[in-house]
Amino acid sequence: MNTYIKQLNWRYAVKQFDNTKKISEEDLNILKEAIQLSASSYGLQPYKVIIVEDKATREQLKAASWNQSQITDASHMIVLANMTDADESLVDNYIDNVSETRGIAKENLTGYSDMMKSNVVALPTEVKDNWTAKQAYIALGNLLSAAAFLKIDACPMEGFDSKAYNQILGLEKENLNAAVVITLGYRAEEDQTQHYKKVRKPENELFSTI
């Protein structure tokens, strides 16, 4: 079996982490790079990645996550926070990056910049909020796959009070909203969920070729 597919079969949403095991700095850097290299619409990456290491903060976040143990027991915790109202600065900063990285004069990127601003910045705020959250979820998918490839366990989590997270992490003042949480580490031997057979739709039900 292909190694990548084998690791996707191996992974599951961990319910109980071994709090004595920690992800190495080397592996953490690989996971961070996987997030950094994730695809996003126009390449804008309209989100911020918050790695929460402070124990006291994680205790607060646990309370805002219906006391799910993964928040404090996992080696690492990541919050993907989407921009709630993408404005012109998002595009301007991206254009600056393109200009510097590719050695292109900014005046030669004006048309591209104007196109992105008309397609993104001009949208209603609630539409932009939904769009930026979708981009964060693309990064989530890439992170989960990278973690599985490294044989690092993960649990994506939506069971939390986003308003409480925003307050605890000071996200609102940064025009951000906690979209999804990922806890990372190594499964506890006692976690019986690891022994469950993976349940997925069969191919003939999931796929359609037109």
> What are the residue ranges spanned by the domains of the chain?
3-85+126-206
CA separation for the pair 186, 82 (Å, rounded): 27
User: Average pLDDT for residues 137-159, to the nearest whole number?
Assistant: 98
In the predicted structure, residue 1 carries a pLDDT above the cut 80: no
Q: Is the pLDDT assigned to residue 6 strictly greater than 90? A: yes
Once rounded to an integer, what is the mean pLDDT over residues 130-142?
98
| CB distance 91 to 121 below 8 Å | yes
- State which fold the 3-85+126-206 domain adopts: NADH Oxidase (3.40.109)
| Cα-Cα end-to-end distance for the chain | 28
Look up the pTM and report it.
Answer: 0.95
Strand partners, 178: 81
122-146: average pLDDT: 97
Strand order of the sheet with strand 176-185? 47-52, 76-83, 176-185, 153-157
Judged against a pLDDT cut of 90, whether residue 7 lies above it is answered with yes
| Mean pLDDT for the chain overall | 97
Alpha-carbon distance of 135 to 156, in angstroms, equals 15
Q: Mean per-residue pLDDT for 193-201?
A: 96
pLDDT level of residue 2 (50, 70, 90 thresholds): confident
Report CA-CA distances (Å) from 84 to 159, 174, 189: 20, 9, 40
Report the percent of the chain where pLDDT is more than 90.
99
User: Is-contact 111 152, C-beta < 8 A?
Assistant: no
| CB-based burial label for 22 (10 Å; 0-12, 13-18, 19+) | middle
